[in-house]
Amino acid sequence: KQEVTQIPAALSVPEGENLVLNCSFTDSAIYNLQWFRQDPGKGLTSLLLIQSSQREQTSGRLNASLDKSSGRSTLYIAASQPGDSATYLCAVRDTGNQFYFGTGTSLTVIP
Amino acid sequence: DTAVSQTPKYLVTQMGNDKSIKCEQNLGHDTMYWYKQDSKKFLKIMFSYNNKELIINETVPNRFSPKSPDKAHLNLHINSLELGDSAVYFCASSRAGGNQPQHFGDGTRLSIL
């Protein structure tokens, strides 16, 4: 069974810093991996989706990488801003159309 | 012009009752989903559904049933509510195909007394 882990559980950085969030999964037979952000009291917003054949995706200040063989993905946020404060979740979709979410990293960017 | 909307936003009810949560999407998507987020913020898929296929997470009790009157709606019906059903339930939708991002509603917070 697929297990998805995110480290750290919480992260606090000063504004302007670059940071990396980590996601690891136990079964490398994935269909894709998606990064989301969740704001308090809200649903999830999709940030980046990496297909199993891809190694990275970029959107603005965000860059997500995928290393299937080692079961890892990272989300890199450049020049962090207070508006980036949220919980970041990674989710793995397996070939059987099941989704597995990590427990998230709570990010606080201090002005 | 909310893309994925759920009603109600909050639902407080007693153990043993039957309740429904409604979900509507105006994105023209083909696939809809229901998720449960527990008190520890862990998110788990319950169902994914399009007009051809219903995929059920095997851990979901059969007291939970999705009902889809049309492509834009996927309602969640829960029978005989239990204390452990207290959670936030999220509806989501996406285009058909495995590599399409999902769009989420804001959630329904269900509290069982």
Residue B109 has pLDDT above 70, yes or no: yes
Rounded to whole angstroms, the Cα distance separating B31 from A110 reads 38
Residue A98 has pLDDT above 90, yes or no: no
Residues A42-64 have a mean pLDDT of: 95
Q: Residue B1: which pLDDT band, with cuts at 50, 70 and 90?
A: low
Rounded to whole angstroms, the Cα distance separating B92 from A109 reads 28
- What percent of chain B is predicted at pLDDT more than 90? 71
Q: How many CB pairs under 8 A join A and B?
A: 51
Residues B59-69 pLDDT 10s: 899 999 999 88
Respond yes or no on whether the N-terminal peptide bond of residue A111 is cis (omega within 30° of 0): no
Cα separations in angstroms, B76 against A43, B6, B63, B104: 17, 10, 10, 15
β partners of residue B109: B10, B88
Rounded to whole angstroms, the Cα distance separating A76 from A88 reads 11
Residue A85 touches chain B, beta carbons under 8 Å: no
Phi and psi angles of residue A74, each rounded to the nearest 5 degrees, phi first: -125, 145
Residue A53 touches chain B, beta carbons under 8 Å: no
Cβ–Cβ below 8 Å for B107 and A45: no
Residues B17-44 have a mean pLDDT of: 92
Give the pair of three-digit tokens for residue B57.
């997470």
Contacts of residue B106 in chain A, CB cutoff 8 Å? 41-43
Cβ–Cβ below 8 Å for A49 and B98: no
Give the pair of three-digit tokens for residue A48.
């980046």
pLDDT of residue B41: 79
Question: Nearest Cα to A85, choosing from A38, A17, A24?
Answer: A38
Residues A52-80 have a mean pLDDT of: 96
Q: Residue A1: which pLDDT band, with cuts at 50, 70 and 90?
A: confident
pLDDT of residue A104: 94
β partners of residue A94: A30
Residue A40 touches chain B, beta carbons under 8 Å: no
Residues A6-31 pLDDT 10s: 999 999 999 999 999 999 999 999 99
Residue B77 has pLDDT above 80, yes or no: yes
Residues A43-59 have a mean pLDDT of: 94
Provide the mean pLDDT of chain B. 91
Cα separations in angstroms, A83 against A39, A86, A87, A109, A111: 10, 8, 12, 8, 10
Cα separations in angstroms, B24 against A36, A102, A110, B32, B73: 21, 26, 37, 9, 5
